[in-house]
């Protein structure tokens, strides 16, 4: 899991990263999982560190099923060598009465290995803030049925 710059083809890391975003946008998390090396490390700020594609998938696939109606628009990205840092929104469906989204910010860090695969992925977000947004969303959804 080296973060050193390696001999990379032009745009190789960016193309691999774009592929992960494409799969994420489609909600194809099983295919997204295959963008990680077999021995990848996934560090999740609230759920801990998972090692290997099988362990990551055992957590990721059910978790993302619960968020199947969410989107994750990209906010920014920085790519340097084989290192990717990007920010995104955890965006729940619908909008508030004022038109704003139910969303909270997250950031991820990835290390590109080779052959279109990443060996490391880390997610960071503020769960306390996120749970507040989710609570507001649930309350608004419950109010629609009243």
Question: Residue 130 above 70 pLDDT?
Answer: yes
For the cut 80, the answer to whether the pLDDT of residue 138 exceeds it is: yes
| Cross-strand bridge partners of residue 117 | 114
pLDDT digits (tens, 9 = 90+) for 29-86: 999 999 999 999 999 988 899 999 999 999 999 999 999 999 999 999 999 999 999 9
Q: Would you give the DSSP letter of residue 139?
A: H
Residue 3 banded pLDDT, cuts 50, 70, 90: very low
Average pLDDT across the chain, whole number: 93
Q: Is the pLDDT of residue 8 over 90?
A: no
Is the pLDDT at 95 greater than 80? The verdict is: yes
Average pLDDT over residues 108-112: 97
Domain limits of the chain?
12-144
- C-beta separation of 118 from 40 below 8 A: yes
Residue-by-residue DSSP string for 8-60: --TTHHHHHHHHHHHHHHHT-HHHHHTTEEEEEEEEETTTEEEESHHHHHHHH
Is 75:61 a contact under the CB 8 Å cutoff?
no
pTM more than 0.75: yes
| Chosen CATH of 12-144 out of 3.40.50.1220, 3.20.20.140, 2.40.50.140, 3.10.450.50 | 3.10.450.50
CA separation for the pair 146, 16 (Å, rounded): 46
For residue 52, how many C-alpha atoms fall within 13 Å in the half-sphere facing its CB? 3
Quick check: 131 pLDDT over 80?
yes
């Amino acid at each position: 899991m080296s973060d050193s710059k390696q001999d990379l083809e032009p745009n190789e890391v960016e193309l691999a990263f774009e592929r992960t975003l494409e799969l994420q946008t489609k909600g194809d998390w099983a295919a997204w999982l295959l963008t990680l090396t077999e021995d990848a490390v996934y560090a999740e700020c609230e759920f801990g560190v998972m090692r290997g594609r099988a362990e990551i998938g055992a957590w990721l696939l059910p978790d993302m099923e619960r968020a199947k109606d969410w989107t994750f628009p990209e906010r920014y990205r920085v790519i340097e060598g084989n290192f990717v840092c990007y920010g995104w929104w955890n965006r729940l469906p619908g909008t508030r009465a004022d038109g704003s989204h139910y969303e909270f910010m997250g950031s991820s860090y990835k290390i590109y290995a080779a052959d279109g695969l990443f060996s490391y992925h880390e997610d960071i977000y503020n769960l306390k803030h996120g749970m507040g947004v989710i609570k507001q969303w649930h309350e608004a959804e419950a109010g629609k049925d009243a």
